[in-house]
Chains A and B, each alone.
Chain A
Amino acid sequence: MESFLQQVVSGLATGGIYAALALALVMIYHSTNHLNFAQGEMAMFSTYISWSLINAGVPYWIAFFATLVIAFAGGVVIERLIIRWVEDAPVLTVVIVFIGLLMIFNSVAGWIYSYDIKVFPSPFPDQPIQIGTLYLGPHDVGAIAVTLIVLAILFLFFRYTSLGLAMRAAAENPESSRLVGIRVGRMLGMGWGLAALIGAVAGMMVAPIVFLDPNMMAGILIYAFAGAMFGGISSPGGAVFGGFFLGVTENLAGSYIPFIGNELKLSVALVIIVVVLLVRPSGIFGKVTVSRV
């Protein structure tokens, strides 16, 4: 039982990271109807930036928040400089741009930092947390807490601030948004900024587990896709749920289904994507959109 609970907790920890990245995907999908394939590499690059800061002697949490600011600004810049020009382009054009961004971030990171695997520090104490006879990894618990705090802040931001409301409006109906005076382009830029920021959190929380290298987010992005598809790509809450669900499922499947183990864990995500697409394409919590023709 204890080991089961421990598996659940460590599943929730990685699940939180998938959830965060899934949310970043959903945010951009919501306003543009495109899946940003470069989301993972952007997160990886942000993590390298915080690694540089920490290596230069900056205390962890200062580096953490500085990275969030840099990631946000970077996201805004990418949208305003590159993405806005292909906003109305055919889907394939956009996909190519996203894949291009992915490869650029990947190789620039490799060029600057080399492909050697680096250790990324965890801000949480080494001592396992003991509850009764249950021992929990401190980084797992910390990562879950950080993810939940970020998600809660985002929820409050979108729900209760007028800027958050304007961003939701701009995503739903750009034309009507302009008619009430919302600068839609700026809101799209902000959306990219926030998505990059969430990705940076995910990167910094996962790096102590998977170690830091330019390809660290490749698998995680697939889980994030799967989580977003599972919960429903149109539903932020659903994507978050999907991320957590996937983290736990993959961990339990890896530990308890003998033939899956560590090697086939990633396939679990792909199986889930395919099954969801077949059975319920809009995801568990997603809205079925009917478009009039």
Chain B
Amino acid sequence: MSALLQISGLEAQYGLTKVLHGVDCRVEEGGITTILGANGAGKTTLLRAVCGMVKTSGSILYAGQRIDGKATEDIVRLGIGHVPEGRGTFVALTVEENLRLGAYTRKEKNKVAQDYERVHRYFPVLLQRRQQQAGTLSGGEQQMLAIARALMLGPKLLLLDEPSFGLAPIVVLEIFEIMRTVNQEEGVSMLVVEQNASLALNLADHAYVLETGRIVLDGPAEEIRGDDAVRRSYIGY
């Protein structure tokens, strides 16, 4: 396997506060990598850095190409879909408009139409809610919409920022099951940031543990799951 995303020596700061201190991590082609860590560890910043939304130093290689320093709009065009913290849906627009916006950069009408049907297969509820304002959806439906919108880009890499946040357990299971299907059937690679460690470790093949801006542990997901310190700190038994 080769790396689709390779991050080396990544540093990021907001104003004078440094948030990431030389982070190295990678996502394999077709793989799912998860970043575990507590609040404020820098998980969200890491995802935002990949998308060019924070100032960084260090290098970010995507499909063999340097993407650090590029504008967010250009990074997105390379096939990186980002499901941001807080979902980032356009609440005043309809569900359908949100999905159309997901495919904003794509020219091939046929493929977009196929993807439109595809995301509705994954999330049938979005078809029922087609004309509804996104802001009127439930939290779970909004998260589905956010993922569906990112899929409308036809991404090679999906960045997911706490997809389980604030959702009922049953909805979380459903969403994670769909993420697994998307990964297995379409080969979309994923970088998933999660606080729910057991869930994330079930899904991912590789995991990193981020603590106050530094990677303190990394390895295959199963190995990390077996790690006593991780189990105590992040899984909780």
One of A172, A177, A178, A181 near B91 (C-beta < 8 A): A172
- Do B76 and A181 touch across chains, with their CB atoms under 8 A apart? yes
**A176-B51 in contact given A169-B101, A181-B76 (Cβ < 8 Å):** no
- Which residues, 88 to 124 on B, are CB-close (under 8 Å) to A? 88-93, 97, 100-102, 104-105
Bound together, the chains give a CA A181 to CA B80 distance in angstroms of 10
Contact with A along B11-37 (1 / 0, CB 8 A): 000000000000000000000000000
SS of A interface (majority): helix
Query: Nearest Cβ distance between residue B150 and chain A, in whole angstroms?
Result: 8
- Do B104 and A168 touch across chains, with their CB atoms under 8 A apart? no
Question: Quick check: is B231 within 8 A (CB to CB) of the other chain?
Answer: no
Bound together, the chains give a CA A69 to CA B126 distance in angstroms of 40
Contact with B along A177-219 (1 / 0, CB 8 A): 1111111100000000000000000000000000000000000
- Do A180 and B149 touch across chains, with their CB atoms under 8 A apart? yes
Question: Quick check: is B72 within 8 A (CB to CB) of the other chain?
Answer: yes
Question: Quick check: is B222 within 8 A (CB to CB) of the other chain?
Answer: no
Question: Quick check: is A162 within 8 A (CB to CB) of the other chain?
Answer: yes
- Do A166 and B104 touch across chains, with their CB atoms under 8 A apart? yes
Bound together, the chains give a CA A43 to CA B34 distance in angstroms of 55
- Do A180 and B76 touch across chains, with their CB atoms under 8 A apart? yes
- Do B88 and A182 touch across chains, with their CB atoms under 8 A apart? no
- Do B72 and A168 touch across chains, with their CB atoms under 8 A apart? no
Question: Quick check: is B77 within 8 A (CB to CB) of the other chain?
Answer: yes
Question: Quick check: is A114 within 8 A (CB to CB) of the other chain?
Answer: no
B102 / chain A contacts, CB cutoff of 8 Å: 180
A179 / chain B contacts, CB cutoff of 8 Å: 51, 72, 76, 82, 84, 88
A176 / chain B contacts, CB cutoff of 8 Å: 84, 88-90
Bound together, the chains give a CA A4 to CA B149 distance in angstroms of 54
A178 / chain B contacts, CB cutoff of 8 Å: 53, 71-73, 76
Which of A166, A168, A175 neighbours the largest number of chain B CB atoms within 10 Å of its CB? A175
Bound together, the chains give a CA A178 to CA B104 distance in angstroms of 11
- Do B73 and A182 touch across chains, with their CB atoms under 8 A apart? yes
One of B73, B84, B97 near A183 (C-beta < 8 A): B73
- Do A162 and B104 touch across chains, with their CB atoms under 8 A apart? yes
- Which residues, 124 to 170 on A, are CB-close (under 8 Å) to B? 162, 165-166, 168-169
Question: Quick check: is A267 within 8 A (CB to CB) of the other chain?
Answer: no
- Do B93 and A172 touch across chains, with their CB atoms under 8 A apart? yes
B93 / chain A contacts, CB cutoff of 8 Å: 165, 168-169, 172
Which of A166, A172, A179, A182 neighbours the largest number of chain B CB atoms within 10 Å of its CB? A179
Question: Quick check: is A173 within 8 A (CB to CB) of the other chain?
Answer: yes
- Do A180 and B104 touch across chains, with their CB atoms under 8 A apart? yes
Query: Nearest Cβ distance between residue A75 and chain B, in whole angstroms?
Result: 22
Bound together, the chains give a CA A168 to CA B97 distance in angstroms of 10
Query: Nearest Cβ distance between residue B38 and chain A, in whole angstroms?
Result: 23
**A181-B77 in contact given A172-B90, A172-B93, A176-B88 (Cβ < 8 Å):** yes
7 A-B pairs closest in CB distance: A181-B105, A176-B88, A178-B72, A181-B76, A179-B82, A180-B101, A180-B104
Q: Could you show 9 A-B contacts with beta carbons less than 8 Å apart? A: A162-B104, A165-B100, A172-B90, A172-B92, A179-B72, A179-B84, A180-B105, A181-B104, A181-B105
Known A176-B88, A178-B76; further 7 A-B contacts with Cβ < 8 A: A166-B101, A168-B92, A169-B93, A172-B92, A177-B101, A178-B73, A181-B76
